[in-house]
Amino acid sequence: RCLPVAACAQQGFAWGDRLLALQFHPEMTAAGIAALIAHSEIGTGPYIQDAETMGSAMAQWGDRTALNVLLDAWWGQP
Protein backbone atom coordinates (compact mmCIF):
# COMPACT_ATOMS: atom_id res chain seq x y z
CA ARG A 1 0.00 0.00 0.00
CA CYS A 2 1.40 3.39 -0.87
CA LEU A 3 0.67 7.08 -1.24
CA PRO A 4 -2.30 7.30 1.15
CA VAL A 5 -4.18 10.60 1.07
CA ALA A 6 -7.38 11.76 2.73
CA ALA A 7 -9.43 11.04 -0.40
CA CYS A 8 -8.17 7.48 -0.82
CA ALA A 9 -6.32 5.24 1.62
CA GLN A 10 -4.54 3.44 -1.21
CA GLN A 11 -3.38 5.34 -4.29
CA GLY A 12 -1.25 2.44 -5.42
CA PHE A 13 0.92 -0.47 -4.42
CA ALA A 14 4.36 -1.88 -5.09
CA TRP A 15 5.25 -5.54 -5.35
CA GLY A 16 8.90 -5.86 -4.59
CA ASP A 17 11.09 -3.64 -6.73
CA ARG A 18 9.58 -4.65 -10.07
CA LEU A 19 5.92 -3.65 -10.02
CA LEU A 20 4.35 -0.31 -9.24
CA ALA A 21 0.59 0.18 -9.70
CA LEU A 22 -0.89 3.66 -9.37
CA GLN A 23 -4.42 5.06 -9.28
CA PHE A 24 -3.58 8.41 -10.86
CA HIS A 25 -1.84 9.72 -13.97
CA PRO A 26 1.82 10.62 -13.35
CA GLU A 27 2.48 10.45 -17.12
CA MET A 28 0.60 13.71 -17.74
CA THR A 29 2.70 16.42 -19.36
CA ALA A 30 2.21 20.17 -19.02
CA ALA A 31 0.65 20.15 -22.52
CA GLY A 32 -1.69 17.32 -21.55
CA ILE A 33 -2.82 19.13 -18.42
CA ALA A 34 -3.31 22.36 -20.38
CA ALA A 35 -5.49 20.47 -22.88
CA LEU A 36 -7.47 18.87 -20.06
CA ILE A 37 -8.04 22.27 -18.47
CA ALA A 38 -9.01 23.88 -21.80
CA HIS A 39 -11.40 21.14 -22.93
CA SER A 40 -12.93 19.85 -19.71
CA GLU A 41 -15.39 21.15 -17.22
CA ILE A 42 -13.58 20.94 -13.90
CA GLY A 43 -15.92 20.54 -10.97
CA THR A 44 -15.32 21.64 -7.42
CA GLY A 45 -15.01 19.59 -4.30
CA PRO A 46 -12.69 18.71 -1.45
CA TYR A 47 -10.60 16.31 -3.56
CA ILE A 48 -10.72 18.06 -6.95
CA GLN A 49 -7.81 20.30 -7.92
CA ASP A 50 -8.74 23.54 -9.63
CA ALA A 51 -7.13 24.57 -12.93
CA GLU A 52 -4.70 26.97 -11.26
CA THR A 53 -3.44 24.29 -8.86
CA MET A 54 -3.00 21.76 -11.67
CA GLY A 55 -1.12 24.27 -13.79
CA SER A 56 1.20 25.44 -11.03
CA ALA A 57 1.98 21.88 -9.95
CA MET A 58 3.32 21.12 -13.43
CA ALA A 59 5.72 24.09 -13.29
CA GLN A 60 7.89 22.31 -10.72
CA TRP A 61 8.67 19.41 -13.07
CA GLY A 62 9.91 21.45 -16.05
CA ASP A 63 9.88 19.23 -19.13
CA ARG A 64 9.74 16.04 -17.04
CA THR A 65 6.55 14.30 -16.09
CA ALA A 66 5.82 13.29 -12.51
CA LEU A 67 6.28 9.73 -13.80
CA ASN A 68 9.93 10.45 -14.70
CA VAL A 69 10.56 11.90 -11.26
CA LEU A 70 8.73 9.05 -9.51
CA LEU A 71 10.55 6.29 -11.39
CA ASP A 72 13.95 7.95 -10.96
CA ALA A 73 13.33 8.09 -7.21
CA TRP A 74 12.00 4.52 -7.09
CA TRP A 75 14.97 3.13 -8.99
CA GLY A 76 17.44 5.35 -7.14
CA GLN A 77 18.48 7.49 -10.12
CA PRO A 78 19.71 11.08 -9.63
Q: What are the residue ranges spanned by the domains of the chain?
A: 26-74
| Mean pLDDT confidence for 7-33 | 83
pLDDT at 51 over 80: yes
pLDDT band at 1 (very low <50, low <70, confident <90, very high): low
pLDDT of 78 over the 70 cut = no
Question: 10, 1 in Cβ contact below 8 A?
Answer: yes
**CA 22/CA 25 separation, integer angstroms:** 8
Average pLDDT, the chain: 81
**Which tops the pLDDT comparison, 62 or 73?**
73
Cα–Cα distance for residue pair 28/33, rounded to 1 Å:
6
* Residue 71 banded pLDDT, cuts 50, 70, 90: confident
Please tell me whether residue 8 adopts helix, strand or coil conformation: strand
